[in-house]
């Protein structure tokens, strides 16, 4: 099970303006249709099960990364990920040198009953850091994960996701690794690992002391302007947020989602003057 390590989350994922909007080959996935399910279930030429089994990629990407055979609706994300720069994702960039603790999160897209979706977790309320906060599965790199500048983030993201949710890494195809981002409040240098859940497996809470719940959020809900707002931290800073179901997704996780929606061309106009305090449940 996952040891008592910090999990990337919290403030610091705020996005910088001016990112170039990607052009989608298809309409944004806002309708409750299961699109691309047939081709997604097929074997992808050069595809990777579990993210660590393929030979070296000729295009310079880490071993185990392949965007072959992705469903059509996910193509705008893969296209944007090929050229995105760190400053397009966040204003918080890793410090020079070896500063910061290497970490990775798994940004896992799946084809759910109500259309494309993302897998999230909610941290246990008893944790000392970011208690009760929705986040991507992920955590610190272990020595056995390998080089933080190489395959380490892929292994760490898949390992942590398995430890936190019970998913089978063999069903995940890693198709990109975004530039490393910095979370000042915790000192993490985080690599967001993008994955396609090609063969979904049962998931749930593995360790209640660390994870309160495991849940999915549809892309349609994330792009719905009615679910968008700016979260107001008690210290006064603002950041993008999503009110989906019973969850308020904010901080680093919301910042990454916000930028992915924008760069993939999925973002819809929303009220940036709408404010939601982080104690919204009260």
Is residue 141 in a domain? Answer: yes
Is residue 145 in a domain? Answer: yes
Render pLDDT for 27-81 as a digit per residue (tens, 0 to 9).
Answer: 446 543 333 332 333 333 333 333 333 334 445 556 689 999 999 999 999 999 9
DSSP per residue over 72-132, as a string? GGGHHHHHHHHH--HHHH-S--PPSTT-SEEEEEEEEEEEETTEEEEEEEEE-TT-SSSTT
Is residue 236 in a domain? Answer: no
CATH code for the domain in which residue 146 is found: 3.90.79.10
pLDDT at 1: 34
Count of structural domains within the chain: 1
Is residue 83 in a domain? Answer: yes
> Is the CB of residue 253 less than 8 Å from the CB of residue 247?
no
> Is the CB of residue 106 less than 8 Å from the CB of residue 158?
yes
Please give the Cα distance from 183 to 8 (Å, whole number): 8
Q: Which residues contact 244 (CB under 8 A, 6 or more apart)?
A: 217, 221, 222, 227
Q: State which residues form the domain around 141.
A: 38-219
User: Taking the model in full, what pTM does it have?
Assistant: 0.80
DSSP per residue over 224-247, as a string? -GGGEEEEE-TTS-EEEEEEETTE
Render pLDDT for 82-125 as a digit per residue (tens, 0 to 9).
Answer: 999 999 999 988 888 677 899 999 999 999 999 999 999 997 75
């Amino acid at each position: 099970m996952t040891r008592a390590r910090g999990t990337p989350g919290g403030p610091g994922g705020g996005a910088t303006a001016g990112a170039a909007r990607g052009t989608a080959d298809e309409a944004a996935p806002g309708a409750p249709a299961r699109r691309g399910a047939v081709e997604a279930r097929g074997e992808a030429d050069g595809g990777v099960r579990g993210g660590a089994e393929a030979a070296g990629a000729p295009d310079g990407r880490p071993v185990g990364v392949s965007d072959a055979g992705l469903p059509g609706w996910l193509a705008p994300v893969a296209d944007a990920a090929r050229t995105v720069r760190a400053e397009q994702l966040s204003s918080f960039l890793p410090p020079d040198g070896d500063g910061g603790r290497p970490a990775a999160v798994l940004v896992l897209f799946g084809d759910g009953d109500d259309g494309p979706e993302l897998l999230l977790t909610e941290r246990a309320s008893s944790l000392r850091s970011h208690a009760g906060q929705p986040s991507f599965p992920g955590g610190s790199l272990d020595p056995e994960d390998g080089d933080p500048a190489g395959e380490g983030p892929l292994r760490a993201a898949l390992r942590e996701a398995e430890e936190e949710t019970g998913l089978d890494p063999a069903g995940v195809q890693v198709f990109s690794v975004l530039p490393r981002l910095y979370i000042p409040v915790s000192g993490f240098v985080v690599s967001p690992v993008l994955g396609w859940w090609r063969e979904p497996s049962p998931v749930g809470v593995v360790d209640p002391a660390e994870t309160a719940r495991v849940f999915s959020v549809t892309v349609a809900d994330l792009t719905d302007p009615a679910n968008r707002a700016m979260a107001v931290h008690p210290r006064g800073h603002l950041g993008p947020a999503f009110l989906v179901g019973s969850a308020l997704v904010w901080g680093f996780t919301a910042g990454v989602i916000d930028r992915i929606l924008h760069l993939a061309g999925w973002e819809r106009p929303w009220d940036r003057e709408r404010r939601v305090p982080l104690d919204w449940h009260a």
